[in-house]
Structure 1
């Protein structure tokens, strides 16, 4: 569980609702189902119109990364790769076949399979870097969907406010309804701006961070497999891979 993501959501709610209450507002004034429908469904509709279905599905699947990112760490991966190199030195590359059968990560499994099958280092690098570039591009497009939704949301919030004001103008003959009507109309703007800046844009940034981290781990796999293919010493492989860690 990513504690920072959870804390961010809680603090955002505390900041908006708490600030509103401190200023003397009420929770009821922030609750407007019509504005919520306009902003949320309108934002989703705009994103559907401008996004391929595969990217939209990918964005939904990766949303869980905001709170539960992939568990692999740099230290764990370095330990695994050094272990592979030690097995390869003792039993040859064919000794890694059992490792391949137990490996669940498809990218790593493919790199090891090419190594065991006897592909040369250049062939492995070319194939795996192409796959990494394609995967990273797709995942970043999925993250950018939330970024684009963050651009639509405030504008649709303004649209909701205008629609609310139209309703207010229809009731000019009854001055008692004007104040509450105008306040309700501007709730749509609050929803639009808040949805964008407190939810959608932070989600996009968090996903980009996770994707960059996953790409770095994949680069470590490539470097490690190539080092094993050229017969490098396990200690040298570990030192090389630790160059990826900057924390």
Structure 2
């Protein structure tokens, strides 16, 4: 589990609380139900209106993943594929059927089962690439939904402020009440900005990043199992897959060569 989203959101709201406390204001002045209901309720509503009900359901199902952020390290994927290559060279491709029964990843399970069934390599590549593309499109739907809410929330906050200021103008005959009423009116704008920049936009960006990592993992598996099917040597396969990982941090730093000392010239 990668708690980056939880840590970031907690620190962001904690900074707001710290600012309010340091300025001597009351936190209860910001926790006004009416503007919060408008901002959160209307933002979710227009988010649903901007797409389909299916898009909304996909986004809701993806929300827990944004906070858990569970991803498999590329090194683990490579070790797993190299192990499959070693078993395929020792026991043949039919042994991949037993490996398919032992793995939990549906993508890898289908790939290994197709190898055991004798599926042509080109056909298997097309099948796996289509599955990766479908997964990427599905993830983009969820990320786009939350990013769209991040765009709507500030404007909805302004709408709430305008509505509240209209109510303020109706009470100009009560000067003693104008200050608190104007302050309350701007709470809607505050929550629009906070929800957009502290919640919706980070969640959308987080889902996009997790999708990128998942596509990279699936691509490694695809190239790996296709190489296993082709009979690649396990060690070379591992080196090839590691070369596909950008900035993996697994490569050892190159040794610095010492410069040779120039020869000492003899005096004439």
Please state which band the TM-score falls in when normalised by the shorter chain: over 0.9
Give the alignment of 1:56-205 within 5 angstroms: 56-205=56-205
Name the residue aligned to 2:212: 212
Name the residue aligned to 2:259: none
Deviates more, 1:112-121 or 1:16-25: 16-25
Aligned CA-pair RMSD: 1.2
Deviates more, 1:54-63 or 1:77-86: 54-63
Q: TM-score, normalised to structure 2's length?
A: 0.89
Please give the alpha-carbon distance, in whole angstroms, between the structure 1 residues aligned to 2:112 and 2:50. 38
Cα deviation code 1:75-96 (max 9, x no counterpart): 1111111111111111111111
Offset at 1:232?
0.5
- Structure 1 unaligned spans of 5+: none
Aligned partner of residue 207 in structure 1, secondary structure: helix
Name the residue aligned to 1:32: 32
Please give the alpha-carbon distance, in whole angstroms, between the structure 2 residues aligned to 1:68 and 1:49. 27
- Structure 2 unaligned spans of 5+: 249-268
Structure 1 or 2, whichever has the larger Rg, is 2
Deviates more, 1:211-220 or 1:60-69: 60-69
Give the alignment of 1:15-26 within 5 angstroms: 15-26=15-26
Runs of 4+ in 1 over 3 A off after TM superposition: none
Cα deviation code 1:93-121 (max 9, x no counterpart): 11111111122221111111111111121
Offset at 1:70?
2.6
Name the residue aligned to 2:222: 222
Aligned residues: 247
Aligned partner of residue 189 in structure 1, secondary structure: helix
Name the residue aligned to 1:8: 8
Name the residue aligned to 1:52: 52
Please give the alpha-carbon distance, in whole angstroms, between the structure 2 residues aligned to 1:199 and 1:209. 15
Please give the alpha-carbon distance, in whole angstroms, between the structure 1 residues aligned to 2:48 and 2:3. 30
Cα deviation code 1:120-159 (max 9, x no counterpart): 2111111110111111011111111100000000000001
Deviates more, 1:91-100 or 1:47-56: 47-56
Please give the alpha-carbon distance, in whole angstroms, between the structure 1 residues aligned to 2:216 and 2:59. 20
| Native 8 Å contact 1:216 1:244 kept in 2 | no
Please give the alpha-carbon distance, in whole angstroms, between the structure 2 residues aligned to 1:95 and 1:185. 69
Cα deviation code 1:192-224 (max 9, x no counterpart): 011001111111111111110000000001100
| Native 8 Å contact 1:59 1:145 kept in 2 | yes
Does residue 243 of structure 1 match 2:240? no
| Structure showing the higher helix proportion among its residues | 1
